[in-house]
Every structure is written in structure tokens, then in C-alpha cells.
Structure 1
Amino acid sequence: MKDGIHPKYQECEVTCGCGNTFKTRSTKPKIAVEVCSACHPYYTGSVKFVDAAGRVDKFNKKFQGTYGKAKKPAEPAKA
């Protein structure tokens, strides 16, 4: 390896959004992550429910329940 071209490899602290912290080694002194092994559903075995009902309600509100329904035929104009 050439001298002076590689970043410094140092001890770093990783902080998760859940509040968990742990130490590892990296070229950065601090790392912030959103999900770690302490809070990820795959590792914890818990299931977090997504607000699917809220999404459906939002969609229906946007289209007023008319999405995919055929339009009414126009009435003939009166002379």
C-alpha cells in the first residue's frame, strides 16, 4: 500500500434511530442509521404493520371512490 493515499481507519460509533448504539471500525468517526439489528423485524421476529388502511382511505378520498367505475352516459341535449 502506498503511504498517504488511504483514509484513516478508526474506531467509530454507530447510532440507530431506535436509540441503540454500538462501536465498530470505519473511515468515518460517526455513522447514523435508521434501522439496526436491535430493531429490524427480521432479527427481532416482530412484525410492524404498515398503515395500509390509511393509504386506501387517502386513495379513495383523492378519487372520491370513482376510480375504475364507468362514467354515466351523457343525456341527450334538449332543443
Structure 2
Amino acid sequence: MKSRIHPASRPVVFRDRAAGAAFLTRSTADSDQRVTWEDGRSYPVIDVETSSASHPFYTGTRQVLDQAGRIEQFNRRYGSGVPATGE
């Protein structure tokens, strides 16, 4: 593997502003803003809009669509059969 072609990986804090959650992980991203983490060290912080703490899929607040109702609505609106072809 060639040396000096990969960006440096460092510990970074990602902060989810919507949920008020933060997590420390490694990343190549960098930021001028810094935050003091629970271990007393200062790390670069990157603010994100959505993470697993606020995304509906991971939090269980995802809305389940009523597929049967949608099919019935489609059939009522457009008919339940396929139009007959040239007989």
C-alpha cells in the first residue's frame, strides 16, 4: 500500500442537534469547532441534522403505510380490471 495517499483518521465527535445526542468515533472529517468530551479531552465536533438517535427508522417512530387501503383506493379510483385489448 502506498504511504501518504490516504487522509489521516482521527477521533471526532458527531453531534445530532435534533436529538441532542453526541457520539465519539473516528473520521477523516475535521472541524475548527472543538468540544470537551466525557474523558476530559478536546475533540473536533461536527454537527449533523440526522443520526440514528433522531432518524424515524431507528427510533421506531416510522409511520407504517396501510398497503391494503392504498390498493383499494387505487382500484376505486381507476377501476379494478385491466382494460380489454382489441378483441
The structure with the largest strand share of the pair is 2
Instruction: Between the two structures, name the one with larger relative contact order (CA 8 Å, sep ≥ 6).
Output: 2
TM-score w.r.t. length of structure 2: 0.46
